[in-house]
């Protein structure tokens, strides 16, 4: 079922979710980091640094820096692809899955609070 929203409602939802993330005790990620994280968790694997760079239209070093931060937070891990050692695989973690699920819950909660 499609959701219908006016632009101001969509922006209010985005604001509410952003505020809850900043005020919460969970790490707040940059837009780029969140785009990478959601790609890893919502799109089917395998995910590689090279593939993510191509998909997001950025360089591999940009992806590597974002993954460094997310790896330190245990939201993703990286491993060398044993079948093609040139590739670095990006894998999901339990902590990352919980983070993404909680973020989705925050969006749902914010949408419920929107005026009609």
Please tell me which residue, 6 or 69, carries the higher pLDDT value.
69
pLDDT in tens, 31-79: 999 999 999 999 999 999 999 999 999 999 999 999 999 999 999 999 9
Average pLDDT over residues 72-90: 91
User: Can you give the pTM of this predicted structure?
Assistant: 0.88
Range with the largest mean pLDDT of 2-11, 25-34, 91-100:
91-100
**44: CATH:** 1.10.10.10
DSSP 1: -
Asked whether residue 39 is domain-assigned, the answer is yes
Instruction: Report residue 100 as tokens.
Output: 């993404």
Instruction: Using DSSP bridges, classify how beta strands 47-48 and 88-92 pair: parallel, antiparallel or unpaired.
Output: antiparallel
Residues 6+ apart with CB under 8 A from 38: 100
| Confidence class for position 116, pLDDT limits 50, 70, 90 | low
Asked whether residue 17 is domain-assigned, the answer is yes
The domain tally of the chain equals 1
Beta bridge partners of 48: 89
Domain, as residue range, for 73: 7-112
């Amino acid at each position: 079922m499609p959701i219908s929203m006016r632009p101001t409602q969509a922006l209010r939802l985005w604001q509410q979710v952003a505020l809850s993330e900043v005020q919460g005790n969970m790490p707040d990620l940059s837009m780029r980091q969140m785009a990478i994280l959601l790609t890893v968790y919502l799109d089917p694997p395998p995910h590689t640094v090279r593939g993510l760079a191509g998909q997001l239209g950025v360089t591999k070093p940009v992806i590597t820096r974002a993954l460094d931060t997310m790896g330190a937070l245990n939201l993703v891990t990286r491993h060398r692809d044993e079948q093609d050692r040139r590739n670095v695989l990006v894998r999901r973690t339990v902590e990352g899955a919980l983070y993404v699920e909680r973020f989705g819950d925050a969006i749902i909660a914010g949408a419920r609070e929107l005026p009609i």
